Structure 1
Amino acid sequence: METMSDLTSDKLKAIEKQIDIQKKSVAFDMREPTIELYVNKYLKDIEKDDNEIFVPDYQREFVWDIKHQSRFIESLFLGLPVPFIFTAEIKETGRLEIVDGSQRIRTMAAYLNDELVLKNLEKLTELNNTKFSQLSSARQRLFKNIAIRMVVLSADATEEVRKEMFDRINTSSVPLLPMETRRGIYRGNFTNFIIELAKNQQFKDLCPVTKYFENRREEEELLLRFFAFSDCYPNFSPVESKGVAKFLDAYLENKNKNFTEKERAEKTKAFKLMIDFITRTYPNQGFTKKPGTSGISKPYFEGISIGAYLALKENPEISAVIPNGLIVDKENRNEFYKSIEGRYKTHTSQKILNRINIVKEAFLNDTHR
């Protein structure tokens, strides 16, 4: 094994050259936009998917619950330090891709638009059950003028570098993802069943995950959603009222207590029916939004997997061709696109039902013809 004293002059030069090259790819500058500016740049032209500050596909799911959102807004009112917003300039468009901070920016936008009613605040209790528009004009201006530091990655950074930055930020403390936690808490036959199915190579091929989710039980999370949402269809109010994570926890706990061999056989059959159809229909795409890409949008996966499965239950002979109405294209924002977009609250009961029904009806009605 080499020690520092063993390194040759050429080796040391190679080290310096590599550091210089890699540093250039992550060159950045610091800015301090106000909350109002963040929100305006995020919301302006969002309907055309041309907003200046935008959420990339691999971060589209909005996962903060009301308590988490409220606590963040409370921190801003109190003047407490909050994490920097990390963005990256896109050379071709001049837009800023959010590398880290999408939940924060969407929460600020929701609050300024009166979509968020503050709950469970422990310090500013007088703000509980209030909306932004109910504050005095002076307090509204003071809030909108709060500055939050933003790190802007150079436009020369490639998509690979941007995702690498996202991975490093989000794995710096290696927090457990929900499914990693569930494996330790909710043990039983149904958990084992999910783990077993997630190893299926055909399913794994349909789900090319990004680097951040590799070996982190993402396939198990997707399968849990497939079974849980299929079982509660068409009533998704429990998902919305509890939040996705708590709903899935409760579902998994209950299934571990009541999972029978009969249900195992039924769910295995449903799983196989669904992945065989997706393999035939999306041979070079799987559950990604576009062929040749990686990263699975959970709202997209839910719509395609459950919608296709429900269509197959009604008509096992549906055509294995992608209906026009299910093609995801920001230049043609169809109803399916709108049902999976990640502006705010991606898992309202209506949105979940809409995206599943759109897929189901598209396959049943042969809309590709």
Structure 2
Amino acid sequence: MARPSERPTAEQIELAEAQILEQSKRIDFFLTEYSVEILAQKVRDDEYVVPAYQREFTWEDRRKSRFIESLIMGLPIPFIFFWEMPDGRLEIVDGSQRLRTIEEFIYGGFQLGDLDPLTHLSGFRFNDLPESRQRKIKNRSVRGIVLNEHADEAARLDMFERINTGSKNANNAEIRRGALAGPFLDVVMELANLPILGSLAPMPAKAKKERGYEELVTRFFAYSDGLEDYRDRPSDFLFVYSKKMNEAFAADPALADAYRTRLNTVLEFVSRNFPIGFRKTAKGAATPRARFEAIAVGSERALAERPELKDASAEDIGVSSWIDGAEFQKVTSSDGANAIARLNGRIDFVKNKLVKHGDD
């Protein structure tokens, strides 16, 4: 919160200091350092836990080669981030791409691509190097941060987010999966693989691997169930919501089928009535989140208000009369898209259009 130009009072300083101390108690971690040889062995022998929320091995060969080149040159390598599990094993939270690349180079026969500046190493495998260089690479050290098992769940999420700020190493869907594995997120993962969802909401292969569909499904349920506690930060809202729903699904397993039905009903409605699904253009290969949220949640709200819309014809629904209009393009633009007023505005726009045409 912005402060006026005057200096903080003694009371404000005291409150700030107390808050710092309180929050610091939630963070319990230690630093560690491993040789490249040890890291490669541990990955090879499955001694590290790679959780379900970690994306697949998505680094392309060029990126792997650049990373190994940096390692060989002795450039600083970013910290590997672990969580110490209650059984003492280390779960990789951030750094699995780096660790798996190291293992693939040392033990998996990975062949380096075109390098710069180490151009003469292009095409080399680890075993092509002289033994002296192999030993030097194995002896390189990589530092790690291990978050203690006693750190609470919120502290884990906060550290996950901060470490990944500005990077592509993890995203909010992966973070939730890491911190909140449970029955609700299991259903989210299942529904994210629905063929009809992929057909209506295409996205690039990279976005799929980064759990883009899980993000869409989670947003659909969270926004549909109510935005009373939404404060313009989707990541915070979705985390709290997912935690609450994990508990609800555990207490009432029947909720899983109810939520499956909800999403399928909306997807079938969109398939029948929206000519290009959630796409922005007929040939679009990506799905803007704002557009997905507006259509999916707006459709569910309309169906809740007017259940008979489910059986109406596409001609009666009349989506084509407004879906390409300037007004809809404006409410689903990215400018300020996560502000609560904009979020409600685009959802209600779709709902009102559907309900209105249902009256015609």
TM-score (norm 1): 0.49
Q: Bigger radius of gyration, 1 or 2?
A: 2
Structure with more relative contact order (C-alpha pairs < 8 Å, separation 6 or more): 1
TM-score (norm 2): 0.50
